[in-house]
A and B are shown apart, each in its own frame.
Chain A
């Protein structure tokens, strides 16, 4: 069974600081997704990473994918309070069209 693990599970950081969330997965996949979820809300798509070495950036967030290491990172630069949310990575198996989600990282940015 595909396992997707994120760390840390909880992250409290001060505004202006940088940090990285890690997502490890247990089997071959060439597609990885990052989602943001605000409390009680739906899942907002942040990034779709489709190949080894893919790097995408949007604002203060940057995501990368290393398919050989089965690792994706979500890097936060100069955090602001608005980034407080839970971040999920998700993987789909090659040839399948369903997502396996990570455990989520609850980020709190403190002013």
Chain B
């Protein structure tokens, strides 16, 4: 079964450093997403990406965040200057144009900012 792959599984970084989280979505999916989940809390939408541009973003997705699809397979989330409150599990997801079969989530990257 096709899956969404995320790397690394766990990243520890110092406050103020830049991090890049990587994702390989399912190959025939057209929409790509990033969500985050602070420990013990609900999953929150960050951004959706379609046709090489951001289609929607939440209030959380401020100027410190950016997304990119640098080639035909990878989809990245960059946090420019990490803060302690950025510590969370970050999930990448992908879907078909109309997700009749739902959104497929990756296994997540646990980001710890120290």
Contact = CB atoms under 8 A, between A and B. Distances in A.
A110 interface: no
Interface in A67-111: 88, 90, 92, 96-104
Interface stretch (B19-27, B39-47, B64-72, B74-82): B39-47
The interface size bin for chain B is 20 to 34
A42 B105 contact: yes
Contact of A99 (B50, B103, B106): B103
Contacts of A48: 99-102
B95 interface: yes
Given A33-B102, A42-B107, A45-B102, A97 B44 contact: no
Given A33-B102, A50-B100, A97-B31, A42 B55 contact: no
A interface: dominant SS: strand
A59 to B, nearest CB: 17
A42 B106 contact: yes
B50 A97 contact: yes
Interface residues of A, number: 22
Nearest to A46: B102
Interface of A: 31, 33, 35, 41-45, 48, 50, 88, 90, 92, 96-104
11 contacts: A31-B99, A41-B108, A44-B105, A48-B100, A92-B99, A97-B95, A98-B45, A98-B48, A100-B45, A101-B43, A103-B42
A105 to B, nearest CB: 11
